[in-house]
Structure 1
């Protein structure tokens, strides 16, 4: 057992969750990420929690539900951390656990390097302030326009609430990613039109050697050009997985582009769009898949007002 991982795990559980003695603490993992999960489980035991470790079969893609027994255990725990290869963030199991009062974080695809360096080391009190400010802008906004290298994508966010992922989950029902630092929202389905150049990374594919250009009509990808375009479409499938489901803005100045979207989408100065399910955070798409793509240094307009130019926030 790597004792450094255990010590960092103790800090994370204290600072991000305020884990207390005798609380029911559940770590959900799969065979791929079991070693990291065991370190966090040991950390929970050392803090005096009623620590539990559940290992399930690896899901085939992000957004797939865990087994019903795992979902039930999540909903009956005080603190839940999901360390898995593919994301459980946009699942009904996560949503129901939070509704039951669990303080919950998902860590899809996290690596030992990410656990020791980068976004996990951020000052989350600062991340929280920035994230909540950007979330308010999204909630108050009605339209978004993303511009990058001559391409433009526009869509409506009217009537939708922004969601903060601050890295601080100390109150019942609070949930998000760790490492964290993003504000995101569900675009109004069917309103997105234009093109967007994905040049950072794509969940399930990794860091991109060359960009992928997506053409979107009435909220749906109609063309994906570039070396990884066909692979992305294959992951998303032929159905509602190709619908635009999320727009997010990174707010963590310690995060790096690593090829693992868990950290990549938190990088300060990036944005990300995701395709597939968004019914767990204000949308109506239930696709059984949720795949993010990260864009570096974009220009962002909210209601035609500049929010970001070349990846830098307007002061």
Structure 2
């Protein structure tokens, strides 16, 4: 028994040491924490080990570090408690390792507007801190990410097709393109380790078919074992077909009793060559050679819709055409 206890302790120590690599990336590269800055870790009961690892590095850099631990949210897109939201607006850096995403909330939008540098770490595991997308060279990929976001921002009509059967069109005139490359300046937020360029459709303009054949990293679904096929009319999903994953998504959206849950909210293009398709949201969404269609809230990305949720439907090997020009062809940007 003693030998087993000693082995477990050694394994725990080794895990903590390996997590420090990711913690240093978050503090030194993603947010560039400086001595004297206020750093707020917003976490929940299930992610305190990750928050503590990041806090230790931030403390070592001379920052004033606080950890606020809340109950895990019940669903993605649920606002954090008011006290947490207030603290977020008064921090220089906000790092958010949580079980369910608070990315698409007023709390994040308001904290960014107040000047915080925000990194969101939804559904992180110790393994995500050690290897995978977090090992990418964010600065090297940054120019490509910005270029793709610019192409989305200057476009009016977007057309997405995929070998799996997606055929979706929408208008995005006047909407901003967002470049999320895991490095934030004042007033910005980014997810990590996904690197993506995204935009929001004009409400009511999306028409066609979405075929999700990779992942829905929410609601316990993860990698899909059968494609989820969504019919889109007038900017909203009107029909969902498929197997187990489709049934889970259909029941959850219906449970909100809010039409905005079906809103076509986002096109995101994965650009991180180190990300792996594994069922974890911020790894899956960044996989190079994929795109995702976000549904529900678009408010934090440049749209106007606030819904009870925000979920992403990820597909393999899309071709994305902006105003008649191919900007992404199956696996790579073509800019």
Q: TM-score range by the shorter chain?
A: over 0.9
Could you tell me which residue of structure 1 aligns to residue 252 of structure 2?
235
The answer to whether the Cα contact below 8 Å between 2:212 and 2:315 also exists between their aligned partners in 1 is yes
* SS at structure 2 position matched to 1:280: helix
The answer to whether the Cα contact below 8 Å between 2:21 and 2:129 also exists between their aligned partners in 1 is no
* CA-to-aligned-CA distance 1:116-160 (integer Å, 9 cap, x gap): 111101001112111100010001101111112344111111111
The answer to whether the Cα contact below 8 Å between 2:31 and 2:119 also exists between their aligned partners in 1 is no
Q: CA deviation at 1:7?
A: 4.1
The answer to whether the Cα contact below 8 Å between 1:85 and 1:109 also exists between their aligned partners in 2 is yes
**CA–CA distance in 2 between the matches of 1:298 and 1:11?**
30
**CA–CA distance in 1 between the matches of 2:196 and 2:166?**
23
Could you tell me which residue of structure 2 aligns to residue 278 of structure 1?
298
* SS at structure 2 position matched to 1:184: strand
Structure 2 unmatched runs, 5+: 1-12
Q: CA deviation at 1:181?
A: 0.8
Pairing 1:128–2:148 present: no
TM-score (norm 2): 0.91
* SS at structure 2 position matched to 1:66: coil
Pairing 1:294–2:314 present: yes
Q: CA deviation at 1:92?
A: 0.7
**CA–CA distance in 2 between the matches of 1:260 and 1:93?**
23
The answer to whether the Cα contact below 8 Å between 1:233 and 1:242 also exists between their aligned partners in 2 is no
Greater share of residues in helix? 2
Could you tell me which residue of structure 1 aligns to residue 331 of structure 2?
311
**CA–CA distance in 1 between the matches of 2:25 and 2:108?**
23
The answer to whether the Cα contact below 8 Å between 1:247 and 1:274 also exists between their aligned partners in 2 is yes
**CA–CA distance in 2 between the matches of 1:7 and 1:126?**
19
Q: Mean Cα displacement is larger for which, 146-155 or 78-87?
A: 146-155
Could you tell me which residue of structure 2 aligns to residue 224 of structure 1?
240
Pairing 1:154–2:169 present: yes
Q: Mean Cα displacement is larger for which, 192-201 or 150-159?
A: 150-159
**CA–CA distance in 2 between the matches of 1:312 and 1:102?**
32
TM-score (norm 1): 0.96
The answer to whether the Cα contact below 8 Å between 2:263 and 2:295 also exists between their aligned partners in 1 is yes
Measured on the aligned residues, the alpha-carbon RMSD in Å equals: 1.3
Change (3 A) 1:8 1:265: closer
Could you tell me which residue of structure 2 aligns to residue 207 of structure 1?
223
**CA–CA distance in 2 between the matches of 1:8 and 1:246?**
28
Q: Please, which of 89, 107, 117 is the counterpart of residue 131 of structure 2?
A: 117
The answer to whether the Cα contact below 8 Å between 2:153 and 2:177 also exists between their aligned partners in 1 is yes
Pairing 1:78–2:92 present: yes
Q: CA deviation at 1:60?
A: 1.1
Matches within 5 A, 1:27-176: 27-149=41-163, 150-169=165-184, 171-176=185-190
- Kindly report structure 1 stretches of 4+ aligned residues shifted beyond 3 Å: none
The answer to whether the Cα contact below 8 Å between 2:148 and 2:327 also exists between their aligned partners in 1 is no
* SS at structure 2 position matched to 1:295: strand
* CA-to-aligned-CA distance 1:55-88 (integer Å, 9 cap, x gap): 1011111111000000011110111100001111
* CA-to-aligned-CA distance 1:172-203 (integer Å, 9 cap, x gap): 11211011310111111111111111011113
**CA–CA distance in 2 between the matches of 1:245 and 1:138?**
14
**Structure with greater Cα Rg:** 2
Matches within 5 A, 1:6-17: 6-17=20-31
The answer to whether the Cα contact below 8 Å between 1:7 and 1:43 also exists between their aligned partners in 2 is no
